[in-house]
Structure 1
């Protein structure tokens, strides 16, 4: 659990959200706009987005001299912990990055997120429905997307060749065989950030999708039952992978984006692949040496006999939500960030994938073009489980799958533990 992180972040939050207080008056006594400071939280710690987002903020300030944007940039886990404190403190920043889904819904239910439907009505038709859907609830809009994508396997072509693997595995059994081939060739098959837990949940989530199907995951959100045979079977396949000992040494203590973490391990050629989202290439380049043309991508394999479609995608994107008490300039900034002329620069740089209609031509990287193409033709879509479900349930998924991979919980216990938390939250 992230209790210590949450408690530590709470102190920062309570001290740092003055920008989310009462809206500033529209004009000062002299007739010019009153000075406004916008608190903006995001988690784009890697290039190119780190610099691009900072540049967008400077441009907005230049166009709006009365506005100062104070950015707080945190890595993934610290950011999640800080978001958790929003609900506890009841005081949201003016603008904050969101994955949408169940976590955003909880924040909306707590009265912390502004309904921006009327403010953004003029630009909503510009977005693709898939990108926008995670930020809309009951016909209202609570944020605008900045990215969308899918999780898949990013791999080192040279290391696959070294192991005699000539094509990407299309089935789970073929994938397990390729893991064995890599090990036999003296190659570490997979890098995993075991310390952070969320990367591990991708395996269980995808296997649940392939074995049980998307409808089963949706039903589990209603009946709070993750003990059904197909969910146990997903856990058994995660265990089958873990039993092959495919991960790098020390993976249980490894982070994701640090110089010795999951991303860098792949980027530096010390592991053959990682299961990660569309941001993987930029984080790899930032954390390590980068693989260049040796980097490839393939979709999560199908599972023989499974009820799910091999064309179903798992993932999500990112977006910007606005705090309830934020001044109007906060919404103006969110709209500025997602204008075609501004957003397409981030797409061209390889930092994000298209969320605006007609933006597809801006994708230059061949691997990201492959992701975008797969996403465009996906037969179904599932948001990350630690965002789709209520926060406590998502956290339990991450924790339980981490225990499964570490060998301290059985597939049956994983289902029972998640169900217990889901029922208590439901």
Structure 2
């Protein structure tokens, strides 16, 4: 085990934020904590027996994976135990398959949460549904991303790299002794695994958000790593989904799914992938660091590794830039002074080092706070930390996590992922399907402008 200060990366992340901000303006076990001079710790409310005014507020968040759901639920429980006068009601969680739609439905029926995890910040800021993060909370974080010159979110963590989580036994049984240095070498590994009699890859395609892991791996390699402003150019119609780089990315996606992914991927849920991996029914899973704990809980004796897949030139490109997302205060809740103070107390509590370290360790995340937070990390998480710290690794974002002029129509992501599912299942022509993507993208842009 390694005890690593995961905020030692602040310089790298600050630089990344500066780069991304420029893009946006031109155009998204036991845990220990360092409890030194911590602002969050100082401001965190302590348990008290004094009579206080009772306050209630609701909370809403996306929990696409069990680890995140459990980690947030534990934080909420601990806060209410420490603050018995505060009742957090209607704790809402939903699969992030359609989180944006879920929030819009909540709003339509008058149930928009008081404290809400926001991922499509610009959408809800423009609609007046959330307010700017209070300055005394914004100061807890390390240069959080801004939308329209304002900080709207208390970022729950920093975006982490995604990569291959692989069974060391399966690799050994297939005679794989070295990790790939190029994408072609990665494909050669898939052939060896296949020849050994094991399914190379498990995919939780039943959950649409899971599709984004592979889709964005190829988009980042062929598109965003070379042109982070591609989305804004697509909106301006100066680039196309039918361009050679996008067609290549989606061809690689289709070929991978056709040749190496478990045939039941479309009916497999994200929450089933860890058990399939540890049971030896598949050799690899492409996902994020939040899966490490789930895999270890499924089988503590299961030995696995983690690495980022290089592109054809041997370059490594990963998700790793900060994006405007996290806890946001609803505009309606902000009208109630007592409710606002209770929510601010919860945010301070959530990010207080001891509590925050537990949350981070539960999902193997990287902290967003200025204050130093440490927790025990395994070899797999160390790889992820090294990727973020490595200046030779290109950091990017998923198609829907950009903002400013690079913001895509909010409904396009899920539509596009479903289109690609259809592309694989029906074995259709990639270029023809990318023409459909162009048509739909333009239609959604036009609809959002009306």
> 1:293 offset after TM fit, Å?
5.4
Distance 1:243 1:65 in 2: 54
Tell me if structure 1 keeps the 8 A contact 2:153–2:327: yes
1:266-285 equivalences in 2 (<5 Å): 266-285=277-296
SS in 1 for 2:411: helix
Q: CA deviation at 1:279?
A: 0.7
Q: CA deviation at 1:262?
A: 2.4
State the alpha-carbon separation in 1 of the partners of residues 318 and 78 from structure 2: 39
Q: Deviations over 1:171-220 (max 9, x none)?
A: 11111111111111001000011222332332232222212343535223
Distance across 2 between alignment mates of 1:49 and 1:213? 27
- CA separation of 1:392 and 1:52: change in aligned 2, threshold 3 A: closer
Map Cα deviations across residues 235-274 of structure 1 (whole Å, 9 max, x no partner). 1111222331x122322211110xxx32321132211111
Q: Which 10-residue stretch deviates more, 215-224 or 191-200?
A: 215-224
| 1:341 maps onto 2:347 in alignment | no
| Pair 418,381 (structure 1): closer, same or farther in 2 beyond 3 Å | farther
Sort the Cα spacing of 1:200 and 1:349 in 2 relative to 1 into closer, same or farther, 3 A. Answer: closer
Q: 2:251 is matched with which residue?
A: 236
| 1:188 aligned residue | 199
Aligned to 1:298: 307
After superposition, the Cα gap between the structure-2 partners of 1:239 and 1:53, relative to the gap in structure 1 and judged at 3 Å, is: closer
Report the counterpart of residue 139 of structure 1 in structure 2. Answer: 149
Relative distance call for 1:212 and 1:58 in structure 2 (3 A) is closer
Aligned to 1:381: 395
Q: Provide the C-alpha distance between the structure 1 equivalents of 2:129 and 2:186, rounded to a whole number of angstroms.
A: 44
Contact 1:151/1:275, CA 8 A, preserved across alignment: yes
C-alpha contact (below 8 Å) 1:220/1:226 kept by paired residues = no
* 2:109 corresponds to 1:83: no
Distance 2:106 2:394 in 1: 32
Q: Structure 1 220/349 Cα, relative in aligned 2: closer, same or farther at 3 Å?
A: closer
Flag the structure with more relative contact order, 1 or 2, with Cα contacts below 8 A and sequence separation at least 6: 2
Instruction: Give, in angstroms, the shift of residue 57 of structure 1.
Output: 2.1
Q: Deviations over 1:58-106 (max 9, x none)?
A: 33234433310122233333645422424655752011223x3xx2211
Q: 2:343 aligns with which of 318, 330, 354?
A: 330
Equivalent in the alignment of 1:252: 266
In structure 2, the partner of 1:227 is 242
Pair 140,367 (structure 1): closer, same or farther in 2 beyond 3 Å: same
Q: Is the 8 A contact 2:182 2:313 kept in 1?
A: yes
- Residue pair 1:192, 1:256 contacting (<8 A) in 2 also: yes
User: TM-score when scaled to structure 2?
Assistant: 0.75
Q: Does 1:94 find its partner at 2:147?
A: no
Cα distance in 2 between the residues matched to 1:267 and 1:310: 27
Change (3 A) 1:47 1:231: closer
Q: CA, structure 1 residues 340+324, in 2 after alignment: closer, same or farther (shift >3 Å)?
A: same
> In 2, are the aligned partners of 1:146 and 1:352 still within 8 Å (CA)?
no
TM-score (norm 1): 0.79
Which consecutive unaligned segments of at least 5 residues does structure 1 have?
A: 1-31
Separation in 2 of the partners of 1:48 and 1:199?
Answer: 15
